[in-house]
Each structure stands twice: as structure tokens, then as C-alpha cells.
């Protein structure tokens, strides 16, 4: 804060204190000047610090968001490529298998829509910073997920099924696309784990239960089970024990479930394999 002329400038606080004579007439002022350079510097540092913090957390959120978009788009994109390749082979047959090409094209359309849904829901999350509030039927959502992953499971010789509750369960409130992502991530992991399990039946079962006021979805697999040390660390971002894993699936699942007022955790099943449980408050 110095001038070219060598004079130093200081931020100051100036007060005028009126001097009155005994009849109450103001006949002068005391001018009190406080040097407030320390306070001003501290305030500027604080503002700068807060701006930096806001920037850092925005960048961190964007980074996580980018990772989660990459993760969620990977599955529909692989489905599109696989179906397009299958369509090509079916057309090369003599005679071409036109019916099956039609199915491949339907699957491509469905995967493309799903990719669009993922982007729409991420965008909504960014804009409003909140989740959509609708009544969601979890058993119906689980059936959608088993349909979506049907060919993935068959390809890995894994039997995938849903065990519905006998008496039905409450709806939950939330964003159906995000909740579907949670189930997709859990079931994909379970199918992956089951395909590496020891001999015997390879299976993944999605079970839906009413637990008091809450609804629980349990995804149980016949895979090798959880690592014995702290299974909760699997939910941290970028933790993956798979060679090709990004390690975002469970981190995304946890942040979605918690944004819905629910809980998600993992344990080992009674007969080997892992069980991932999600509990959400009923509507
Ligand atoms: N059902 C399961 N059985 C055993 N281990 C599991 C199971 N589900 C997840 N895990 C372990 O937790 C790790 C983290 O899972 P997460 O879904 O977060 O990441 P990922 O599947 O490795 O990669 P991606 O980001 O592609 O989903 C996995 O790498 C795996 O080691
Ligand atoms: Mg995963």
C-alpha cells in the first residue's frame, strides 16, 4: 500500500468526537484515526480462503461426478457395442437373420435411452442439488434390473432371480433412476463376484423385505465373499479389488442411498458369498 512518492497509505477508521461547550453548542471536534490495516488484511485473507475452499469443493464434486457419469455410461455403451457387433454377424449369415437383428436394434435403443436417463438424472442432481421425490415401487425396480442384466448374467452362467415379498412392501420416496442405479451397481458386482465363486451353483438373488416402516433390498451372491478386514472400506471412492474396476460403484450407491435417508452395508452370507443390504424409509 505505498505510493510512488514514497508515502505509505493505510486503511483507517475515522471517528469524529464533537466537543460541546457548557450550553450544548458544538465548537469543535476531536478526530480519532485508527489504523485498521490488520483487520482489513485478515478480512481479505478470510474472503480469499473461503473462495478457494468453495472452488476446491466444486472441483472435487465435479471430479466425482465425472467419474460417476463415466461409470454409469459404461454399461449401456458396452451393451450398444455388443449388440451392434451381434447385428453385424447376424446380417452376414446366409440367409441373414433379420428377426434377431431387430432384437439387437431394440436393445440398442433401450441402452441408448438408459444412457440418456443417466445424463438427465446427473444434470438434475447438479441443477437442484436434490433428488426427485416420487413413490417408487422397489420390487418393480428390481424386476427392471434383472431384465436389464439378464443377458450379462447368462453370459457368465449366473442364475439371477428376484424373490418378492409375499405380502408386498411399502413404496419408498425418491428418484427412481438413481435408485435403479444403486440396484444395477449392486447386482453387477454380485454377478461379477458369483462368476468367480468356487464350484457349485452360481447365483444372485435379490430379496425384498418389509422391515417395520423400512423396506430392505438384499442382494446375495454365491461368490467368494468379502475381504475379512473392514468391508466398509469397499464403499470408499476408487477402492476396487478388480483389475478393470473403477471402484466407484459402491461409493455412488452409498451417496444415493444416504441422500434418500437410507443405509447401505455389506456382510457375509451364512453359506459363503456376500450380502449387500439397502434399507430405505417407507413412504
Ligand atoms: N458381491 C461382492 N462380493 C465380493 N466383493 C465385492 C462384491 N461387491 C463388491 N465387492 C468388492 O468391492 C469392490 C468395490 O466395488 P465397486 O462397485 O465400488 O467397484 P468395482 O466394481 O471394483 O468397479 P466399478 O466402479 O466398475 O463398479 C470391488 O472391486 C470388489 O472387490
Ligand atoms: Mg462395481
Q: Express as a percent the part of the chain with pLDDT over 70.
A: 87
Partnered with residue 265 across adjacent β-strands are 277
Buried b (16+ CB within 10 A) or exposed e, 81-117: ebbeebbeebeeeeeebeeebeebeebbebbeebbeb
Backbone angles phi, psi at 156, to 5 degrees: -110, 15
What's the 56 CA to ligand 2 centre distance in angstroms?
27
Candidate ranges 2-6, 13-17, 139-143, 162-166; pick with highest mean pLDDT? 139-143
Q: Given pLDDT bands bounded at 50, 70 and 90, which one contains residue 2?
A: very low
What residues contact 107, with CB distance under 8 A and at least 6 apart?
79, 83
Residues flanking ion ligand 2, Cβ below 5 Å: 189, 249
User: Which of 68, 74, 189 maximizes ligand 1 atoms within 8 Å of its Cβ, making it the mutation to test the pocket?
Assistant: 189
Within its chain, how far is the Cα of 138 from the centroid? 18
Distance 258 CA to ligand 1 centre (A): 19
| CA dist., res. 263 & res. 252, Å (int) | 13
Residue ID of nearest Cα to ligand 1 atom 1 = 190
The larger pLDDT score, comparing residue 225 to residue 198, is at: 225
Burial class (CB in 10 A: 0-12, 13-18, 19+), 269: middle
- For the chain, state the CA radius of gyration: 30
Kindly tell me if the per-residue pLDDT of 86 is higher than 90: yes
The residues pairing with 238 across neighbouring beta strands, listed in sequence order, are: none
Q: In the chain, count of helices (H) and strands (E)?
A: 5, 9
Cell of 63: 471430479
Ligand 1 neighbour 37 (Cβ under 6 A): no
Q: Does the beta carbon of 226 lie inside 6 Å of ligand 1?
A: yes
For ligand 1, whether the C-beta of 158 sits within 6 Å is no
pTM for the full predicted model:
0.66
Kindly state the average pLDDT of the residues 85-114. 94
Amino acid at each position: 500500500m505505498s505510493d510512488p512518492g514514497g508515502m505509505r497509505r493505510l486503511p483507517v477508521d475515522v471517528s469524529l468526537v464533537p466537543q460541546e461547550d457548557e450550553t450544548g453548542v458544538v465548537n469543535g471536534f476531536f478526530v480519532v484515526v485508527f489504523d485498521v490495516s490488520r483487520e482489513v488484511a485478515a478480512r481479505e485473507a478470510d474472503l480469499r480462503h473461503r473462495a478457494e475452499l468453495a472452488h476446491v469443493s466444486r472441483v472435487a464434486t465435479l471430479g466425482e461426478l465425472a467419474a460417476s457419469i463415466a461409470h454409469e455410461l459404461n454399461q449401456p455403451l458396452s451393451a450398444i457395442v455388443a449388440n451392434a457387433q451381434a447385428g453385424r454377424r447376424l446380417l452376414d449369415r446366409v440367409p441373414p437373420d433379420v428377426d434377431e437383428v431387430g432384437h439387437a436394434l431394440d436393445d440398442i435403443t433401450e441402452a441408448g435411452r438408459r444412457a440418456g436417463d443417466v445424463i438427465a438424472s446427473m444434470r438434475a442432481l447438479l441443477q437442484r442439488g436434490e433428488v426427485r421425490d416420487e413413490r417408487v415401487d422397489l420390487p418393480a425396480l428390481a424386476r427392471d434390473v434383472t431384465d436389464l442384466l439378464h443377458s450379462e448374467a447368462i453370459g457368465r452362467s449366473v442364475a439371477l432371480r428376484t424373490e418378492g415379498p409375499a405380502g408386498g412392501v411399502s413404496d419408498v420416496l425418491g428418484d427412481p433412476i438413481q435408485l435403479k442405479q444403486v440396484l444395477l451397481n449392486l447386482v453387477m458386482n454380485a454377478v461379477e463376484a458369483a462368476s468367480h465363486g468356487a464350484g457349485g451353483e452360481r447365483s444372485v438373488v435379490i430379496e425384498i423385505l418389509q422391515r417395520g416402516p423400512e423396506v430392505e433390498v438384499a442382494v446375495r451372491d454365491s461368490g467368494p465373499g468379502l475381504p475379512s478386514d473392514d468391508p466398509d472400506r469397499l464403499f470408499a471412492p476408487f477402492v476396487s479389488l478388480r483389475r478393470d474396476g473403477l471402484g466407484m460403484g459402491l461409493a455412488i450407491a452409498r451417496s444415493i442411498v444416504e441422500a434418500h435417508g437410507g443405509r447401505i452395508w455389506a456382510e457375509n452370507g451364512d453359506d459363503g458369498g456376500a450380502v449387500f443390504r439397502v434399507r430405505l424409509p417407507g413412504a
